[in-house]
Amino acid sequence: MAKTVYVLNGPNLNLLGTREPEKYGRATLADVEKICRAAGKQHGLDIVFRQSNVEGEIVNWIQEAHAKKAAGIVLNPAGYTTTSIAILDALLTVKAPVIEIHITNIHAREKFRQNSYVSKAAKAVICGFGVNGYALAIAGIAGMIGSKIGTKAKR
Ligand code: CA2
C-alpha cells in the first residue's frame, strides 16, 4: 500500500491566485493540489491535501497525520508561521519528516515574516520557488523515506 503525505495549507491560501500575483504568481490552490498529486504519483505516494483558516483545525490535522502514520507532512503555515506555538507543539510530536514550505522567499521580505516557530520542528525548509516548491518538498520526503524512485538518505 502506498504511503501518504499530508500537504497542509494555512490561512488565506484559499485565496491564492486572486491577488498579489507579482509575489505569489497566478496559480490557484486547486493548481497547487494538482502539482502535489502529480508529484505524489511520480514518487508513489498518496496525497492528503487540505487548507484551513483555523489554527486548531491545522493542529488536528497534524495529530491525524501522526496517528495515521503518514510518511511526512508538507506544511505552508502562512500567517501562523511566526505566531503558533500550538502548531509547533503538534509538529514536535511527529516522527515523520516535516517540510515547511513558503511560496515566497520570506527572508527577502519583511522581518516579521522570518522568525518561524515551525522551522524548529521542520526537517527542511523550502521557500522562494513559487508553487513548484510543493513538488520539491514531496520529492524531498520521497528521498528521505526511500520511496519508489527516491534515494534513501540517512536521517
Ligand atoms: O510565501 C508564503 O507561502 C507565505 O507562507 C504566504 C503567507 C505569508 O503570510 C507568509 O509570510 C509567506 C500568506 C498567505 C496568503 O497568501 C495569499 C496569496 C495570494 C492571494 C491571497 C492570499
pLDDT at 122 over 60: yes
Rounded-to-integer distance, Cα 149 and Cα 61, Å: 27
Over the stretch 11-32, which tens digit does the pLDDT of each residue have?
999 999 999 999 999 999 999 9
**Tell me, what's the pLDDT at 149?**
55
- Expressed in angstroms and rounded, the spacing between residue 47 Cα and the centre of ligand 1 is 21
Cβ-contact 29, 17 below 8 angstroms = yes
Compute the mean pLDDT over every residue in the chain, rounded to the nearest whole number.
95
Over the stretch 74-87, which tens digit does the pLDDT of each residue have?
999 999 999 999 99
- Asked if 80 is an active-site residue, the reply is no
Q: What is the CA radius of gyration of the chain?
A: 14
pLDDT band at 148 (very low <50, low <70, confident <90, very high): low
State the pTM of this model.
Answer: 0.95
In 28-146 the beta strands, taken as DSSP E runs, fall at: 45-51, 72-76, 98-102, 124-127
Q: Which of 138, 113, 110 has its CA nearest to residue 124?
A: 138
- Expressed in angstroms and rounded, the spacing between residue 153 Cα and the centre of ligand 1 is 31
pLDDT band at 150 (very low <50, low <70, confident <90, very high): very low
Which whole number is the average pLDDT over 87-98?
98
How does strand 72-76 pair with strand 3-9?
Answer: parallel
How does strand 3-9 pair with strand 124-127?
Answer: unpaired
Whether residue 103 has its Cβ less than 6 Å from ligand 1: yes
